[in-house]
Amino acid sequence: MTWIKIERALFTLFVFVLLAGAVQVAREWAIRASIIILLLGGLGLALALAQFISDIKNIESKKPDEVLTMEAPAAKSDSRWGNLEIWGWILGFYAAIHVIGFLAAVPLFVFSYTKAYGGSSILSLILGVMSWGFVYALFDAILHVPWPKPLIASLIS
Amino acid sequence: MIEAALEGLQSVLTLHSLAMMSLGVLIGSLVGFLPGIGGPTTLAIMLPFVMVMQDPVAVIALLVGMDAVGNTASAFPSILISVPGSAGSQATILDGYPMAKRGEAARALSASFMASLVGGIIGPLILLASLPVLRPLVLSFGSPEFFVLTLWGLAMVGVLSGNAPVKGLLAGIIGVFIATVGLDMKSGVERFSFGEPYLWEGISLIIVALGIFGVPECIDLARRKTSIAERHELGSGFKQGIIDVMQNMWLTVRSSAIGIWVGFLPGLGSSVADWFAYANAIQTEKHKENFGKGDVRGVIAPEASNNSKEAGSYIPTLAFGIPGGTSTALILVAFTAVGINPGPDMLTTQLNLTFAIIWTLAIANIMAVFLCMAFTKPIAKCCFLPFYTIVPIILVFVFIGAFAANLNRYDLLLLMVFSTLGFMMRRHGWPRAPLLLGVVLGTKMELYLWLSYTRYGADWLQRPGVILLFILLLASVLYPIWQARRVGAFIEADAP
C-alpha cells in the first residue's frame, strides 16, 4: 500500500522535473516559440509542486488509498506477475517486430498469446493465420506499406 | 439554412456515403459489444487510414457514424455479462443485469435499443436547434476570446474528468507541451526535438492516443482475464421492452436532455451522462424501490442519455473547435486533415457539412438500432469471446496504427513511451482525456495567444468578452477544487 503511494509521489515528481526542464529550455527561445510554454509552464510547476506535497503528505496518512476518476478503475490482477506479465508480451512483440519484421511477428504473437492463455491449438493457429492474412492483404498487397527492415534481414545480408 | 440542410442530406444519402456510414456503424457496434475495447482506441486506430481520404462527407459518415452508435451496442455486455461495453453504459448494469438474471434479457435489450434510438434522434434535433443561437455568438468572437475559450475548454476537461482536478490540469498542460514539440515555422526554433529530424514535424496525435488509451486498455483487459462464469439466455419480452419505452417516454426525453447537457460541457463525457440520468430517474420517478433490482426504467434512462450525449458533444466541437471529449478530439483531428474547419466556418461557409454531421448522427443511430435488433442472438454470443482472442488482435492493430502514422521505425518507440506514460497515469489516477485534448488544442491555443498579443498587446485582456470568459474559467476551475477539498475534509472528519 505504501509502495504505491511512494510510486505515486515519484510520478508527480517526474512530471515536475519534466515541466521544469521544459520551461528552462524554453527560456532560451524567441518569444514567438516560447510564449505558451512560459505562460502555462509557470502554472504547471506550481500545480505539480502542490500535488507533490499532497502526495508526500498522503504517504504518511492512514486514509484508505483510493483514487477516484471518471474512468473505470484499473483492473486488479489475480495473476502472479501482475502487470509484468502483459508488459512482457508487449515488449516481446515490439522486439519481435524489430528482429523478425512485422509480417512474421504478427502471426507469431497472436498464436503464442492465444495458446498461452488457454486457446486450443486449432483456434490459435486460425487466429494467427487470419491476422497474418489480413495484415498481408490489406497493408502489404493493397496499401504497399513500407515495413521497417528487420534486424535479421540486415544480419543475413 | 434550409438549402444547406437539404444539401447536407443529399451528400449523406449518396451510395458512397451510405456505404461508409454502414462501415462506421458496423465497426462502432463491434467495438460496443466487445467488452474492453474503447471507442477512442478504435478511432485512434482508424485515424491514419481515414486522414488520407479526400471526401470530407465520407469521413463524416465513417467517423461520426462510428462514434454515434458505440453506446447502442454496448448495452449487450452490460446486460448479459455485467461488464460495461463502453464507459457510458456502466449504469445500465444496475438494472439490466438483474433483468437478465431473471430471464428478461431480451426485454432489457429491446428497451435499451429503443431508448438509444429516441436519445439518438433527440440529440441531433437539439444540435440543429442550437445553430441559430450559436451562429451570432461565434461570429462575434476574435482571437483573444478564442484563446480564453480554448483555455477554458482545457481547464474544464482537466477539472471535471476526474476527482483529481490538479492532476487533470497538469495532464492538460503536459498535452499542450507535447503539441509544441517540433520545428516552429514562424521563428525557426527547434522545440524539444533534441536535434532529431524525426521530431521536427511534431509528435503525431495518433501515436499519443494509441499510447495513452490503446495499450493501457489492452493491459487492463489482459489483467482482468474476462472469464464468463454465468451465461444468461435472452428469454422473452422483446416487444415488451419497446412498449416499456413508449410508456416511459417522458423519462426517455428527460434523460436524453440530460445527455445533451452533459455532452455539451467539455470534460464530463459519457462516463457520467448515464449516471446523471440514472440518478435523475431515481429522484423523479414513482415506485423507486425496484431500482437496482431489475427495473426497466433503470435501463431506459442511462441508454437514452449516453446516445444523446454524442450529439451534445458536437456543439462545442463544431461551433468553437473545442472538443467535448476524447472521441470528438480525435474526430476533430481527422476533420482538420480533410479540410473541415471546426469553428465559425462550420456555421457559415461549411454549414452543409454541419448538416451532414447532424443527418449522419440521426441515420447512424437508426441503422445501429436495426442492426442490433435484427442480429441480437449472434451479437449476444460475441460478448462471450474470451480475452485471449481479443487482446492480441487489438495490440496488433495498435502497433500497425502507430506505425502507419509516419511509417517510421521511431513511431513504435514513441508508442512505447506514451504507453508507459498512459499506464502510469491510469495506475495513479491521472485523467488521460485532458492530455489528449491539450495535444489537440495546443497549436490553436498558441496561435490565438500569439495573434492576440501581436494585434492588441496587453489590451486584449481588457475586452469585455475576455473578462467574462476569464471569470467563467476561474469559477469552473476553482469551484470543483473547493468542492473536492470540502468533501475531503468532510470524509476526514467523519472517519473513526
Confidence band for A52, pLDDT divided at 50, 70 and 90: very high
Highest mean pLDDT among B119-133, B411-425, B436-450: B411-425
A48 and A87 both lie in a single domain:
no
Contact in structure between A8 and A47 (CB atoms under 8 Å): no
Q: Say how far apart CA B283 and CA A10 lie, in whole Å.
A: 43
450-479 of B, contacting A, C-beta below 8 A: 450, 453
By C-alpha distance, the chain B residue nearest A68 is B163
Q: Around B374, how many Cα atoms within 13 Å sit in the side-chain half-sphere?
A: 7
Higher pLDDT, B143 or B380: B143
**Helix or strand or coil: residue B472?**
helix
A88 and A150 both lie in a single domain:
yes
A126 and A90 both lie in a single domain:
yes
Chain B contact present for A40, CB below 8 A:
yes
Q: Which of B123, B71, B32 is nearest to B299 (CA)?
A: B71
User: From the DSSP assignment, how many helices (H) and strands (E) are in chain B?
Assistant: 23, 2
The percentage of chain B sitting over the pLDDT mark of 70, rounded to a whole number, equals 90
Model pLDDT, residue B229: 44
Would you say residue A72 lies in a domain?
Answer: no
Cβ contacts of A109 on chain B, cutoff 8 Å: 392, 395-396
Helix axes A102-116, A121-135, angle to 10 degrees: 160
pTM beyond cutoff 0.95: no
- Residue B389: all three cell numbers together: 482472442
Chain A contact present for B423, CB below 8 A:
yes
Give the residue-averaged pLDDT of B374-379.
79
Model pLDDT, residue A68: 44
Contact in structure between B41 and B210 (CB atoms under 8 Å): yes
Asked whether the predicted pLDDT for residue B318 surpasses 60, the reply is: yes
Asked whether the predicted pLDDT for residue A82 surpasses 80, the reply is: no
Chain B contact present for A75, CB below 8 A:
yes
Give the residue-averaged pLDDT of B37-46.
74
Tens of pLDDT along B259-309?
Answer: 888 787 765 555 677 877 887 887 777 777 788 788 889 899 988 988 888
Q: For chain A, what is the domain count?
A: 2
The percentage of chain B sitting over the pLDDT mark of 90, rounded to a whole number, equals 8
Higher pLDDT, A157 or A50: A50
Model pLDDT, residue A69: 46
Tens of pLDDT along A99-136?
Answer: 999 999 999 999 999 999 888 899 999 999 999 998 88
Give the residue-averaged pLDDT of B107-121.
89
Cβ contacts of B400 on chain A, cutoff 8 Å: 102, 135, 139
- Residue A78: all three cell numbers together: 489475480
Q: Which of B113, B136, B57 is nearest to B340 (CA)?
A: B57
A144 and A89 both lie in a single domain:
yes
Would you say residue A27 lies in a domain?
Answer: yes
Residue B259's identity, in one-letter code, is: G
Q: Say how far apart CA B302 and CA A141 lie, in whole Å.
A: 44
Would you say residue A65 lies in a domain?
Answer: no
Confidence band for B161, pLDDT divided at 50, 70 and 90: low
Chain A contact present for B163, CB below 8 A:
yes
Task: Determine the residue among B78, B151, B185, B399 to mutate to test chain A binding: the one whose Cβ has the most chain A Cβ atoms within 10 Å.
Answer: B399
Model pLDDT, residue B183: 87
Asked whether the predicted pLDDT for residue A155 surpasses 90, the reply is: no
190-229 of B, contacting A, C-beta below 8 A: 191-192, 215-216, 218-225
A51 and A12 both lie in a single domain:
yes
Highest mean pLDDT among B30-39, B213-222, B459-468, B479-488: B459-468
Q: Around B334, how many Cα atoms within 13 Å sit in the side-chain half-sphere?
A: 32
Cβ contacts of B219 on chain A, cutoff 8 Å: 83, 86-87, 90
Contact A82 B223 (CB under 8 A): yes
Contact B386 A119 (CB under 8 A): yes
By C-alpha distance, the chain A residue nearest B185 is A33
Model pLDDT, residue B486: 67
Higher pLDDT, B231 or B120: B120
Q: Say how far apart CA B42 and CA B63 lie, in whole Å.
A: 10
Neighbours of B200 (CB within 10 A): 13
Q: Which of B205, B235, B172 is nearest to B434 (CA)?
A: B172
Q: Which uninterrupted H or E stretch holds B191?
A: strand B190-191
A149 and A91 both lie in a single domain:
yes
A53 and A105 both lie in a single domain:
no
Q: Say how far apart CA B395 and CA B391 lie, in whole Å.
A: 6
Chain A contact present for B400, CB below 8 A:
yes
Give the residue-averaged pLDDT of A32-56.
91
Tens of pLDDT along B204-260?
Answer: 888 888 888 888 878 887 877 654 445 556 777 778 888 999 998 999 999 998 888
Model pLDDT, residue A70: 45
The percentage of chain A sitting over the pLDDT mark of 70, rounded to a whole number, equals 86
Contact in structure between B322 and B316 (CB atoms under 8 Å): yes
Contact residues for A12 (Cβ-Cβ < 8 A; gap 6+): A48, A51, A52, A55
Q: How far is A156 from chain B (nearest CA, A)?
A: 20
In which region does residue B203 sit, left (phi positive, over 0), alpha (psi from -120 to 50) or beta (all else)?
beta
Q: Which uninterrupted H or E stretch holds A111?
A: helix A102-116
Would you say residue A41 lies in a domain?
Answer: yes
Instruction: Please tell me chain A's helix, strand, coil percentages from 3-state DSSP, rounded to the nearest 5.
Output: 75, 0, 25
Asked whether the predicted pLDDT for residue B173 surpasses 60, the reply is: yes
Model pLDDT, residue A19: 95
Q: Which of B363, B265, B264, B258 is nearest to B303 (CA)?
A: B258
Give the residue-averaged pLDDT of B120-141.
81
Chain A contact present for B174, CB below 8 A:
yes
Asked whether the predicted pLDDT for residue B393 surpasses 90, the reply is: no
A151 and A112 both lie in a single domain:
yes
A48 and A95 both lie in a single domain:
no
Residue B251's identity, in one-letter code, is: L
Would you say residue A43 lies in a domain?
Answer: yes
Contact B219 A87 (CB under 8 A): yes
Model pLDDT, residue B85: 67
Residue A96 sits at the vertex; the CA angle it makes with A90 and A101, to the nearest 5 degrees, is 130
pLDDT, mean over chain B = 81
Q: Which domain holds residue A148?
A: 83-156
**Helix or strand or coil: residue A82?**
coil
* Maximal CA-CA distance, chain A: 62
13-32 of A, contacting B, C-beta below 8 A: 15, 18-19, 22, 25-26, 29-30, 32
Q: Say how far apart CA B119 and CA B261 lie, in whole Å.
A: 12
Chain A contact present for B186, CB below 8 A:
yes
Would you say residue A47 lies in a domain?
Answer: yes
A152 and A92 both lie in a single domain:
yes
Would you say residue A77 lies in a domain?
Answer: no
Q: Say how far apart CA A105 and CA A89 lie, in whole Å.
A: 12
By C-alpha distance, the chain B residue nearest A31 is B187
